């Protein structure tokens, strides 16, 4: 066991750890800012998927939004667990996915893709309680985007009908993804809040003000006036109490 100390000693040790944690937080913020400035790669090839509405393209996976994150999940013959389960690691990752309404509100879509037939995917989703869009695919999508041998997330941006690949992460970059913030931090537009270091002209809104209940988002709606008032008061109290040390 580590040392057992008094409340004052514990608070002092926590304060020392907090300083290091904030250094890590700022480093992650700076890394995300660099990520938003990465070059993009034009996607020139056509890719076909099958979803509940039939055959669709990579462009269709955006669902009209500008940003798309595609996770290649290993669920297919030959993968451990088939046909009852997908890969254990991919399944644990799917269990982590938070309510997608918040991600969608930031003009971002998350989709899963596997080589399993769509009927098996729908059966698996129902069994496991997963609700993310999940498509079946054939062809070379996984090979072309580095996820034929191992799992990974690819990030795409849509400018009209032109698609660009903007980011890719796998291995240790994958296991902690699942929250709204972890997903947004790997997108080219980021969290889209005013405190972020983003290129000029990128969309940004006031921090906290766009947050909403998952069943209450309305496209293009102004921030709720009451929530703006409440969040302003809370933020002011937080800053006064901590004098910026917890930012």
pLDDT (tens digit per residue) in 52-69: 999 999 999 999 999 999
How much is the pLDDT for 246? Answer: 42
End-to-end CA distance of the chain: 31
Model confidence at 45, pLDDT cuts 50, 70, 90, reads very high
- Outline where 53-159 has alpha helix (H): 58-61, 88-96, 100-105, 118-128, 141-144
pTM: 0.95
Fold of 41-184: Glutaredoxin (3.40.30)
How far CA 215 is from CA of 105, 106, 132, 208, 241, in Å, comes to: 11, 15, 16, 17, 32
Least confident of 17-21, 41-45, 144-148, 229-233: 229-233
- The DSSP letter of residue 233 is H
Q: What is the average pLDDT score of the chain?
A: 95
CA nearest 114: which of 85, 161, 63?
Answer: 85
pLDDT of amino acid 192: 98
Q: What is the pLDDT of residue 239?
A: 80
Predicted pLDDT of residue 227: 95
pLDDT band with cut points at 50, 70 and 90 for residue 243: low
On the question of pLDDT at 2 being above 70, the answer is yes
Of the candidates 155, 219, 213, 228, the residue with the CA atom closest to the CA atom of residue 187:
155
Q: Which region holds residue 142: left if phi is over 0, alpha if psi is between -120 and 50, else beta?
A: alpha
């Amino acid at each position: 066991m580590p040392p057992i100390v008094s409340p004052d000693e514990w608070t002092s040790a926590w304060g020392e750890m907090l300083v290091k944690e904030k250094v890590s937080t700022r480093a992650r913020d700076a890394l995300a800012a660099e990520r938003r400035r990465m070059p993009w790669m034009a996607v020139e090839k056509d890719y076909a998927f099958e979803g509940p509405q039939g055959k669709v393209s990579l462009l269709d996976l955006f669902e009209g939004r500008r940003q798309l994150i595609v996770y290649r999940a290993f669920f297919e013959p030959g993968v451990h667990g088939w046909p009852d389960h997908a890969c254990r690691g991919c399944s644990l990752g799917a269990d982590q996915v938070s309510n997608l309404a918040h991600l969608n509100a930031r003009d971002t879509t998350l989709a899963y893709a596997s080589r399993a037939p769509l009927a098996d995917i729908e059966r698996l989703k129902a069994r496991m309680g997963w609700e993310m869009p999940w498509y079946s695919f054939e062809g070379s999508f996984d090979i072309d985007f580095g996820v034929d041998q191992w799992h990974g997330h690819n990030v795409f941006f849509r400018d009209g009908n032109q698609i660009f690949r903007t980011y890719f992460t796998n291995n240790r970059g994958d296991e902690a993804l699942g929250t709204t913030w972890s997903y947004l931090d790997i997108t080219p537009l980021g969290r889209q809040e005013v405190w972020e270091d983003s290129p000029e002209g990128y969309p940004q809104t006031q921090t906290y003000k766009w947050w909403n209940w998952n069943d209450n988002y309305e496209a293009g709606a102004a921030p709720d006036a009451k929530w703006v008032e409440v969040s302003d008061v809370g933020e002011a109290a937080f800053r006064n109490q901590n004098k910026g040390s917890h930012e």
